Amino acid sequence: MVGAGIFFSRVSGLIRGALMASFFGTALMDVWFAAAKIPNVIQNLLGEGTLSASVIPVYAEFLEEGREEEAGRFAGAVLGILMMVAGGAALLGMLLAPVLVPIVFWEWNPDKVALTTVIVQILFPMTAVLVLSAWALAILNSHRRFLVSYMAPVVWNGAIIATLVVMGLGFGFGWSGRQLLLAAAWGALGGGILQFLVQLPYVVPLLRHFRLSLDRSVSGVGEAVRNFVPVVTARGVVNIGSLLDVFVAAILAEGAVAALGWAQTLYLLPISLFGMSIAASELPELSRQRKAPVSDLAPQISAALQRIHFLLLPSMAAFLLLGDLFIGGLYQRGEFLPTDTPVVYAVLAAYALGLLASSGSRVLSSAFYAMRDTRTPARIAYLRVVVSLAVGISLMFPLDRFTSGELHYGATGLALGASVAAWLEYILLRRRLATVLGPHGPARSARISILGATAVAALAAVAAKWALGSNVPRHDGMVTGLLGDSAPWLVQPALAVSTAFIFGVVYLTVASRLGVGAPLRQLLGRRPKHS
């Protein structure tokens, strides 16, 4: 159910990204990705991941033990504290934006900096509302209501899409450029409010004995705050590292921030769809079993990691081999030029190298959070950020000398640094967890079978890519192949969908024959409740 909700959310996000790529060139997309990233750090610090890690273990344990009155009062106190903290952070961000944005983006021209500042000020209130939406998600997840909470971002994406369509495609407006980008920012603010509102009808019936307050003496609040601080520190250092990537990319040639943003949109799709869904669904269950023997937890974590391997290893291969098709099919129209595709593909491929590790680390961190150990993931996260920046900065300047059209390849170095650091984090988390749980992880035979199925599927997809036609346009902008001579905007989406479908079908078929994974109906089926 988590995966289904995230799937619809991410598909709507891809549609939004494709529209924005068509309407705005690299300079304006630099502005959007930079402006969205700054308040997004606050959202990530106070929102879904950190809030779930600190609130769900306490709230779910209250429910499991039948302490509903304490659960209701705990939920009310957490909401009250969040409203105060998120609102204060948003107000502070709006006030400081005119001072800090020109300092951070000192290489940009004044008009670009001014536009970034205004959009940051619009998006900060949106961030505060989305933090409240994360509170609703934590409550729903604790009650095993996963679909609504993870589908809610569809409303946010839908508000931006509707704004772009109405304001940018006519209907008496026909806006473009700076004016349309500002409209999209206001649409994002309205979408954030709607995202919170659509969850309330599902949350309210679950809140028995609910009382909004700022009372830190309410049972469970002290523990949640103690858990929250190291989780925020861990998530904070990772998110600040991601923000620093944007700041550093702004030093490179124009379009580097946009290239990072476009690649991350695709890179985060399997992490969200598979990695986050498995980690999010495991956290409440592991929290309910915190007092169970360690021997009962290790098999569950091993099974979760095997599902990560089963779903993320082929995703990694698909991005490495077919990423140019996905980027061309999704973005390459309007202001997104054919020469932009190779650069974004290189960034995506660099990120893809760390895809399996990033997703696996989310599951491992959930295991630590469920056991009330929030400090170990935090300490390892610090090292991850340092390594990511060190490797990324050392590679980005040499790579920035190479170009494709007007875009430079410097952002690829930052993506490579992120992948190296992701594997370091994964290895260290596995080793630390092994000292607590003992041996865990997917079986060797399963890993070999998954790798074999991925290799066969990759060969089939590459053959299909070659047979159906090249994704490189001719000098006249047309594309040839078995699909016939057509414009790239028509052929490339068809090529992307066709090869991805062939890859997926071959992978699932071969994997099933090798005895790994599960039938599709079982993967999508409801998990049995733990007694």
pLDDT digits (tens, 9 = 90+) for 44-80: 776 665 666 677 778 877 877 788 888 888 888 888 8
> Is 291's pLDDT higher than 60?
no
What's the per-residue H, E or C state across 356-382? HHHHHHHHHHHHHHHCCCCHHHHHHHH
Give residue 517's pLDDT. 65
Q: Is residue 53 one of the residues assigned to a domain? A: yes
Residues 101-114: what's their mean pLDDT?
91
Q: Which domain holds residue 77?
A: 1-209+217-224
Q: Is residue 390 one of the residues assigned to a domain? A: no
Q: Is residue 358 one of the residues assigned to a domain? A: no
Give residue 318's pLDDT. 94
Rounded CA separation 494/325 (Å): 9
Question: Are the CB atoms for 442 and 309 separated by under 8 Å?
Answer: yes
Strands (E), 60-184: none
**Taken in order 498, 496, 314, 8, is the CA torsion positive or negative?**
negative
Residues with Cβ within 8 Å of 490's Cβ and at least 6 positions away in sequence, in order, are none
> Is 331's pLDDT higher than 70?
yes
Q: Is residue 139 one of the residues assigned to a domain? A: yes
Give residue 395's pLDDT. 95
Token code pair at residue 270: 């399997």
| Amino acid letter, residue 160 | I
Residues 17-34: what's their mean pLDDT?
90
Give residue 526's pLDDT. 46
Question: Are the CB atoms for 326 and 496 separated by under 8 Å?
Answer: yes
How buried is residue 94: exposed, middle or buried, by Cβ count under 10 Å (0-12/13-18/19+)?
middle
Token code pair at residue 469: 């036609």
Rounded CA separation 388/384 (Å): 6
Give residue 49's pLDDT. 59
Rounded CA separation 27/12 (Å): 23
Rounded CA separation 225/505 (Å): 46
3-state secondary structure of 526: coil
Q: Is residue 52 one of the residues assigned to a domain? A: yes
Rounded CA separation 208/70 (Å): 9
3-state secondary structure of 404: strand
- The secondary structure element, H or E, covering residue 408 is strand 407-408
pLDDT digits (tens, 9 = 90+) for 378-404: 888 889 989 999 999 999 999 999 999
Q: What is the largest CA-CA distance in the chain?
A: 70
Question: Are the CB atoms for 77 and 221 separated by under 8 Å?
Answer: yes
Give residue 52's pLDDT. 65
3-state secondary structure of 403: strand
User: Which of 229-238, 374-383, 428-437 is predicted least confidently?
Assistant: 229-238
Computed over every residue of the chain, the mean pLDDT equals 83
Half-sphere exposure of 127 (CA within 13 A, CB side): 28
Residues 310-330: what's their mean pLDDT?
91
Q: In which band, very low, low, confident or very high, does the pLDDT at 182 lie, cut at 50, 70 and 90?
A: very high
Rounded CA separation 327/234 (Å): 32
Q: Is residue 320 one of the residues assigned to a domain? A: no
Rounded CA separation 277/263 (Å): 21
> Is 282's pLDDT higher than 80?
no
Q: Which residue has the tokens 């594997």?
A: 423
Rounded CA separation 262/327 (Å): 9
Give residue 476's pLDDT. 42
**Taken in order 187, 191, 193, 197, is the CA torsion positive or negative?**
positive
Q: Is residue 34 one of the residues assigned to a domain? A: yes
3-state secondary structure of 486: strand
Rounded CA separation 192/152 (Å): 10
Rounded CA separation 500/518 (Å): 20
Q: Is residue 37 one of the residues assigned to a domain? A: yes
pLDDT digits (tens, 9 = 90+) for 520-530: 455 444 444 44
Question: Are the CB atoms for 180 and 23 separated by under 8 Å?
Answer: yes
What's the per-residue H, E or C state across 427-484? HHHHHHHHHHHCCCCCCHHHHHHHHHHHHHHHHHHHHHHHHHCCCCCCCCCCECCCCC
Number of domains forming the structure of the chain: 1
